[in-house]
Chain A
Amino acid sequence: MNFERIYQEHFRQVWRFLARLGVPERDLPDAAQDVFVVVHRKLQEFEGRSRIETWLYGICVRVASDRRRRASQRWESLEHPDEQPSGVTLEPGDERLGLRALAERILGSLPLEQRAVFVCFELEGLSSQEVAERLQIPLGTVHSRLRLARAGFRKELARLGAREARWLRAGGQD
């Protein structure tokens, strides 16, 4: 399998996974580039010892982790709210934007290793066995991280204000 074929077949998948790992939209081109730089350099050593998706997911997690660490050093958050345009005017029925922002913020509060498992299992729909293979971690670790991620998600939801979320979900009705 050559580099170009991997790029063409997996670019979209890499992009989506990086986004779900919390890489901000503005940084996705750079992050995707980082991933494929690694792919290109290590392709000859890959030797197909694991599935290509497993290899790519691992690189994505590390690139996202690296970016998160660097962002924190710059006192930024990967889920920095300035991703959202400030002048957006919500029309009636657009309250979903608020809920979505809330969901993304909660997801962003999870440690990356938990988030990666949560994303693979709950959002990508992989089985726990597939998650273990994809992220190259033991099955028991998948389960423990998933439990922690769910608990973290629930806790953060409560903290960020379930009341506002409920209000938004109700379409802005008191």
Chain B
Amino acid sequence: MRPWQDEGASDLEQQLLEMLREDAAEPPPGAEEQVLGALSLQLGLGAAGSVARGAGTAEAPSAVAGKAAGAAGVAGSATGAALQLTSVLKLTLVGLLLGGATAAVSHYASLDSGGGELPRSVASSYREDMKGAPTKGTAPAPVEPGEVREPSGSALQQRRPRSEVSVALPRPSVSTDAPPEPSVARFEGVVEPQGQQVAARRSQLEAERTVLAAARRSLQGGDAAGSLRLLTELNRRFPRLLLGQEHEALSIRALAASGARAQARARAARFVALYPTSPLTPGVREVLR
């Protein structure tokens, strides 16, 4: 087959395709090393490219970290750098242990044997154990010597909080439509007690609701500039808004009312494209009319 542009793609379709081509996501600086660092801990990477199979299956995080730290200098330069990085960060790597990894491998196991179709069974979901949800189709992790098999469906939950091995990419604001995430031990190594996180979240939510209500009243009262000030201040105080959609929808209306029509329309179009099914979209769409 020939490329789409040679087979009747419209100008708009071609332009969108071109944007997608240009938009190839490159790993941010440090991502490669951080993922390798996490892999080193997860897999117990020792000498370059060789791993003691089964390492880390039921070890405590400190033991895993210790093993990885001990491997520094033995592994290749990238691994060494990653381990150094993880040491500096004093990361608390929890969960994501080989039990889960083994299940994942079982799921993806047929990849080099010609099975190219997408999987139809449910794969391992070792990071969903925090919910205690049953994991369908997961291969049971092998029982290592000394390991006490925990009840199915809650193995990691009882062991420790799940791990979120991620680079420190900026976290976007989260709509309340999304279910609250369980507490996670992040790469930075800071593990807040779940109660504190919940309390902080509630407090932020309350603050956002209060300010959004005030901004809405200002807008209804004809004070678009005042409304925008409140909204800007709210976003400055909470860069990761819990009520991001509501904030953006109100900002768009306030911008339009303040006379910044072009900016309001641009943001409205973006909002409509991003949130086509949001209950706020019909109101935002009005700005485009």
Residues of A within 8 A of B (CB): 2-5, 7-8, 11-12, 15-16, 19-20, 25-30, 32-34, 36-38, 40-42, 45-47, 49-50, 55, 58-59, 61-63, 65-66, 69-70, 73-76, 80-90, 92, 94-107, 112-113, 121-123, 128, 135-137, 142-143, 146, 150, 153-154, 157, 160-162, 164-169, 172
- A80 and chain B: residue at smallest CB distance: B178
The distance from the CB of B55 to the nearest CB of chain A, in whole angstroms, is 11
A82 to B288, CA, bound (A): 21
A8 to B167, CA, bound (A): 17
B42 touches A28 (CB 8 A): no
Beyond A62-B108, A164-B273, whether A4 also contacts B262 by CB under 8 A is: no
B276 touches A160 (CB 8 A): yes
B266 touches A20 (CB 8 A): no
A161 touches B273 (CB 8 A): yes
With a CB–CB cut-off of 8 A, which chain B residues contact A122? 3-4, 17, 20-21
30 residue pairs bridging A and B, Cβ less than 8 Å apart: A2-B50, A7-B36, A12-B27, A20-B20, A26-B166, A28-B169, A29-B35, A30-B127, A33-B42, A34-B104, A46-B112, A50-B112, A58-B112, A62-B111, A70-B125, A85-B244, A86-B172, A86-B248, A87-B173, A87-B235, A87-B241, A90-B266, A94-B266, A98-B269, A101-B270, A122-B20, A123-B24, A128-B1, A154-B10, A157-B12
With a CB–CB cut-off of 8 A, which chain A residues contact B69? none
Beyond A19-B24, A89-B263, whether A103 also contacts B19 by CB under 8 A is: yes
Most A C-beta atoms less than 10 A away, residue of B111, B124, B244: B111
With a CB–CB cut-off of 8 A, which chain A residues contact B270? 84, 90, 97-98, 101
A62 to B25, CA, bound (A): 19
Most A C-beta atoms less than 10 A away, residue of B17, B112, B239, B275: B112
B4 touches A150 (CB 8 A): yes
A69 to B122, CA, bound (A): 8
Contacts A28-B31, A87-B241, A150-B4 aside, 12 further interface pairs with beta carbons under 8 A come to A15-B27, A33-B35, A42-B108, A61-B118, A80-B178, A83-B172, A87-B173, A98-B269, A103-B17, A162-B12, A164-B269, A164-B288
With a CB–CB cut-off of 8 A, which chain A residues contact B245? 81-82, 86
Give the A-B pair count, Cβ closer than 8 A: 267
A26 touches B112 (CB 8 A): no
B105 touches A42 (CB 8 A): yes
**B38 beta carbon closer than 8 Å to chain A:** yes
A15 touches B25 (CB 8 A): yes
A164 to B269, CA, bound (A): 6
A28 touches B247 (CB 8 A): no
B116 touches A137 (CB 8 A): yes
Partner of B172, one of A3, A26, A32: A26
A161 touches B25 (CB 8 A): no
Beyond A33-B38, A136-B115, A164-B269, whether A12 also contacts B26 by CB under 8 A is: yes
**B128 beta carbon closer than 8 Å to chain A:** yes
B16 touches A99 (CB 8 A): yes
A92 to B260, CA, bound (A): 11
Of the candidate stretches B71-79, B140-148, B192-200, the one touching chain A is B71-79
B122 touches A76 (CB 8 A): no
A120 to B167, CA, bound (A): 27
With a CB–CB cut-off of 8 A, which chain A residues contact B265? 167, 172
A89 to B254, CA, bound (A): 13
- B16 and chain A: residue at smallest CB distance: A103
Beyond A30-B164, A59-B108, A86-B235, whether A168 also contacts B266 by CB under 8 A is: yes
